[in-house]
Amino acid sequence: MTMNACARGAIAMLVLCLACVSHAQEQRPLLDALQAMGVGTAAVDSKAGRGDSTFNGPEFDEASNEWRMMIERGDGAMYRRFFVSLNESSGVVCVHELASECAQRDDAVLALQAARDKRRGLADAALNPPPDLQGVMIAVIRHQRSAGGYLAGTRMPLYVTLHLPGGDRPIDLSAESIRSLGDTGLQLRAGSDWKAPESGAQEHVAMTMSVGTPTRRADGDYDITFGFWCGPLCASSHRAVLRHGASGWRVISSQMDWIS
């Protein structure tokens, strides 16, 4: 059997499109702006000690594959300004104080490798979706509702969605899942029902929960990130390790990365 010219042309176009998508993914920065700010702040802390920071940036320069930002510390006589560059190709973080040479060298190798692993995991999850995504949300909510969890004391309505890789439409916590969580006492809602408060409205009257897609680890468990938001000064970011078995999803460990 021979392949006709149309079929060969279609296959060639498909290969070209896949190559374009792969190239576009490689061109995107591995870190997002918040991650770059976190690495930059840690590098300045190593040079000048911890303190409140004011940021200008960060901005990503595609030509050099480099994040750049200005970090300002202190006031009056103690005022100091640092220019920070973070190169995603080499992993080198360089801190310049005013017009000086690089005043502090650090590296972002671990943060960049974690970002690469996460990107590969999301690409794999897009091709091989993990099972029972409603069960993922249920497991994380129950864990956060337990003693010491972020939701242990909340009384606000909670709007929940799970976000898929590739920008596909998020998955709402379903009505059936909400009923199964009735014993938690939480006021659970589908994430798509959330409406942004009007300007000047009282804050902290409702909370959103955004859950990422689980990505498979080498040991067979799954990494997941999730976050909560209820206002400009009411937000947090978390990560957890989940395990899927015959009884469904279970949270193995969880930690908070930051809170405001």
pLDDT at residue 131, rounded to an integer = 92
Give the chain's domain count: 2
Residue 16 CA to its chain's centroid (Å) = 30
Considering only residues 8 and 183, tell me which one the structure prediction assigns the higher pLDDT.
183
Q: Same structural domain for residues 152 and 219?
A: yes
**For range 231-257, the mean pLDDT:** 92
Q: Same structural domain for residues 148 and 247?
A: yes
Q: Same structural domain for residues 225 and 192?
A: yes
| Weakest-pLDDT range from 15-29, 54-68, 147-161, 201-215 | 15-29
Tell me how far apart the alpha carbons of residues 89 and 104 are, in angstroms, rounded to a whole number: 19
Q: Same structural domain for residues 178 and 215?
A: yes
Q: Same structural domain for residues 38 and 142?
A: no
Host domain of residue 150: 130-196+203-259
User: Residue 136: pLDDT above 70?
Assistant: yes
Q: Same structural domain for residues 99 and 177?
A: no
Distant-in-sequence, close-in-space partners of 125: CB < 8 Å, separation ≥ 6:
165, 213, 214, 215, 216
Q: Same structural domain for residues 93 and 208?
A: no
User: Residue 153: pLDDT above 90?
Assistant: no
Question: Among 75-79, 98-102, 158-162, which range has the highest average pLDDT?
Answer: 158-162
The amino acid sitting at 231 is G
Q: Same structural domain for residues 79 and 37?
A: yes
Q: Same structural domain for residues 174 and 73?
A: no
pLDDT at residue 159, rounded to an integer = 97
pLDDT at residue 99, rounded to an integer = 62
Question: Among 4-13, 42-51, 88-97, which range has the highest average pLDDT?
Answer: 88-97
User: Residue 18: pLDDT above 50?
Assistant: no
Tell me how far apart the alpha carbons of residues 200 and 28 are, in angstroms, rounded to a whole number: 37
Q: Same structural domain for residues 158 and 252?
A: yes
**For range 69-98, the mean pLDDT:** 86
pLDDT at residue 188, rounded to an integer = 96
Among 95, 52, 55, smallest CA distance to 74 is for 52
Asked if residue 144 belongs to a domain, the reply is yes
Give the end of a domain, one of 107, 138, 168. 107
Asked if residue 13 belongs to a domain, the reply is no
Asked if residue 5 belongs to a domain, the reply is no
Give the end of a domain, one of 73, 107, 141. 107
Asked if residue 246 belongs to a domain, the reply is yes
pLDDT at residue 4, rounded to an integer = 53
3 state SS of 17: helix
Crossing angle of the two packed helices 109-127 and 33-48, in degrees rounded to 10: 160
pLDDT at residue 201, rounded to an integer = 56
What is the signed CA dihedral for 249, 251, 257, 260, rounded to 10 degrees? Answer: 80
**For range 62-75, the mean pLDDT:** 89
pLDDT at residue 23, rounded to an integer = 45
Give the end of a domain, one of 43, 72, 107. 107
pLDDT at residue 7, rounded to an integer = 45
- pLDDT category at 122 given cuts 50, 70, 90 is confident
Element (H, E) at 14: helix 5-27
Considering only residues 226 and 6, tell me which one the structure prediction assigns the higher pLDDT.
226
Q: Same structural domain for residues 38 and 101?
A: yes
pLDDT at residue 3, rounded to an integer = 46
Q: Same structural domain for residues 144 and 247?
A: yes
Asked if residue 251 belongs to a domain, the reply is yes
Question: What are the strands, taking DSSP E only, across the chain?
Answer: 53-61, 66-73, 80-87, 92-97, 102-107, 157-162, 171-172, 187-190, 207-211, 215-216, 222-231, 234-245, 248-259
Asked if residue 7 belongs to a domain, the reply is no
pLDDT at residue 244, rounded to an integer = 96
- pLDDT category at 197 given cuts 50, 70, 90 is confident
Asked if residue 14 belongs to a domain, the reply is no
Asked if residue 169 belongs to a domain, the reply is yes
Looking at every residue in the chain, the average pLDDT score rounds to 84
This prediction's pTM: 0.60
